[in-house]
Amino acid sequence: MTLLAVRDLTTSFHTGGGELTAIENVSFSLDKGEILGIVGESGSGKSVTALAIMGLLPRPAARIRAGSIQFENQDLLQLSNRSMQRLRGPGIAMVFQEPMTSLNPVFTVGEQIIETLQAHENVSRRDSFARAVDMLERVGIPSAARRMADYPHQLSGGQRQRVMLAIALVCRPRLLIADEPTTALDVTIQAQILELLMDLRDEFGMAIIMITHNMGVIAETADRVLVMYAGRVVEQAPVDRLFDHPSHPYTSGLLSCVPTLDQDHDRLIAIPGNLPEPSRRPSGCRFSTRCVHAVPACGEAIPPLRTLQPDHTAACIRVGEIA
């Protein structure tokens, strides 16, 4: 059953140099209990998409120019600020990129979890404290009752990320958006956080949007993958098919950048060039200026997403030749 449906979402930001489009015609859906991975380089539009879903785009600088966001059959773009506030927490929750800066340094971690719970549910202080301790235990914080009185600076990076998860999950959301949940964590802690997310997904039955640039994280966690480049979706497929049969040159480039044990190269393979700035995006295919397969026709028009399989689409006019 479809939990979230994003259709033709387009957002822009007003700047001193004019209005810049951040994401264009982004469409995808998410079923209950499913994990959708969104990948791409920094600046591809992953976090802007997440903030649009949460209703947290900075206003008035940002605006949604077109499209719809349907969550449980209600259009989030038509909700009032108060209705959207009620939905955050029990409906949709988000783990932000930087646990070091997302937690308030002048409040204890316990106060921050309790504040979230009491903002959305009519519970007593005693019950809130008990549920906060229980959630800290669930996310793997040792001596949870004692750590409730700790301030963020007293915790390690991995513990702070777990506290961020506790805040997001304390109201048991139906959808969790995890924006780079393993950033700045060592590989051991990364593995623990990902395993924790999988366990909590199974326990709560929630869906997850996993935003990352780490293809290894996607391979371990996602059911389906959305590849974004320069504000547009360039490929979407089940995770196994994407890794076995990447059909867009950008997806192939991302996978080629990941070192494997059977490779024997002096240097890692890299995608040439850089992501174009929003004000200088090519008029045709956004990836054409970096693509080794580009032909003159690639610069003439933005290619539409082509259906390769019922659940696999890619936006490339040469997708058949390249595959």
Per-residue pLDDT of the chain (323 residues; tens, 9 = 90+): 899 999 999 999 998 888 999 999 999 999 999 999 999 998 999 999 999 999 999 988 999 999 999 999 999 999 999 999 999 999 999 998 776 778 999 999 999 999 999 988 889 999 999 999 999 998 888 999 999 999 999 998 888 888 998 999 899 999 999 998 877 677 887 888 888 888 888 888 899 999 998 888 899 899 999 999 999 999 999 999 999 999 999 999 999 887 766 666 667 778 888 999 888 899 899 999 999 889 999 999 999 999 999 999 999 998 877 65
d(CA 236, CA 224): 7
Residue 210, SS3?
strand
What's the CA dihedral at 77, 180, 170, 145 to 10 degrees?
-160
d(CA 113, CA 92): 16
Number of structural domains (the chain) is: 1
The domain containing residue 281 runs over which residues? Answer: 248-323
179 touches 94 (CB < 8 A)? yes
Answer yes or no: is 270 within a domain. yes
Answer yes or no: is 214 within a domain. no
Answer yes or no: is 321 within a domain. yes
Task: Sort 203 into a burial class: Cβ within 10 Å, 0-12 / 13-18 / 19+.
Answer: exposed
Answer yes or no: is 185 within a domain. no
Among 109, 102, 158, smallest CA distance to 129 is for 109
Answer yes or no: is 254 within a domain. yes
Count of other CB atoms within 10 angstroms of residue 234: 25
Answer yes or no: is 267 within a domain. yes
Task: Sort 217 into a burial class: Cβ within 10 Å, 0-12 / 13-18 / 19+.
Answer: buried
Q: State residue 270's pLDDT score.
A: 81
Answer yes or no: is 213 within a domain. no
Count of other CB atoms within 10 angstroms of residue 84: 17
Answer yes or no: is 275 within a domain. yes
Non-local (6+) Cβ contacts of 85 within 8 A are: none
Q: How far does the chain reach from its first CA to its final CA, in angstroms?
A: 32
Strand partners for 229: 232
